[in-house]
Structure 1
């Protein structure tokens, strides 16, 4: 199992729990708009959180979804934004809520 992480707003996660799948790619962009869901490995999360949510003021709490890669139903690819760059995990389809093993609050700086 590869431990994948995704940071999001609690309300978006709660809505996904009701729907059965999570379909946000990143802050303000859906899976349909972006084509995949941005994820991180544990050592990448802080940098991603600072880049994507560094200016986030709420109103909702941020949470980290811990994803069990073995429960995914869509393709997972590791890709770099530019040739030779750091590769990040991208999920090419909806995230089933039962693939989320844990949800923890993201600590404010």
Structure 2
């Protein structure tokens, strides 16, 4: 069961549960939801979420995604990251963990 991870806030996750799907700000601005592999999480937390509170980590089962999953190369980080090109269907989220 391949999984990927997404960091968000508890309030954004609660909004998603009310709407029935999750859309990040990046989806609207860049066309995809940023995700990570497990090994990438510490660096992502350090680079983008340092000092932020109310964070949660979504564990996403990739086989359940209804939107397209593409692994894109990041020149800035020199690594490949999973991106979800569309809304995240809630039933693909198999675990929610407070950070």
Query: What is the TM-score of this pair, normalised by structure 1?
Result: 0.84
Q: Structure 2: where are the runs of 5+ without partners?
A: none
Give the conservation status (yes or no) of the 8 Å contact 2:26–2:34.
no
4+ runs of 1 displaced by more than 2 Å?
Answer: none
Give how far 1:84 is off.
9.2
- Aligned with residue 74 of structure 2, among 59, 78, 81: 81
CA distance in 1 between partners of 2:21 and 2:26 (Å): 12
Where 1:70 maps in the other structure, the secondary structure is helix
Q: How many residues align?
A: 99
Q: CA deviation at 1:85?
A: 2.0
1:9 aligns with 2:5: no
1:66 corresponds in structure 2 to 59
1:50 aligns with 2:50: no
- Work out the CA distance in 1 between the residues paired with 2:15 and 2:45: 21
1:48 and 1:30 map into 2 onto residues whose CA distance is: 15
Structure 2-normalised TM-score? 0.92
